[in-house]
Amino acid sequence: MFPFAFEWVPEATRYVFMGATYAVLISLIIILHYCAIRAFLDLICKKDDHNSHH
């Protein structure tokens, strides 16, 4: 549930609970994207290295 949904009750427990949930989910998404981007950049750099040798 998001804070802008009409069912959202503005209470401290809900902010802590849902905040922790979204913190975990966002962390996981960032880690996955970071790894994928690094892997992609490695691949590009290797290709560049390979081309510069020729």
Amino acid at 35: C
Which is closer to another protein, CB of 6 or CB of 54?
Answer: 6
Helix (H, G, I), strand (E, B) or coil at 1: coil
Residues 31, 37: Cα–Cα separation, whole Å: 10
Determine which residue in the list 3, 34, 51, 52 makes contact with another protein, applying CB under 8 A. 34
Question: Is 26 a binder of another protein (CB under 8 A)?
Answer: no
CA angle (18 as vertex; 30, 27 as ends), nearest 5 = 10
Query: Interface residues with another protein (CB under 8 A)?
Result: 1, 7, 11, 13-14, 17-18, 21, 24-25, 27-28, 31-32, 34-36, 38-40, 42-43, 46
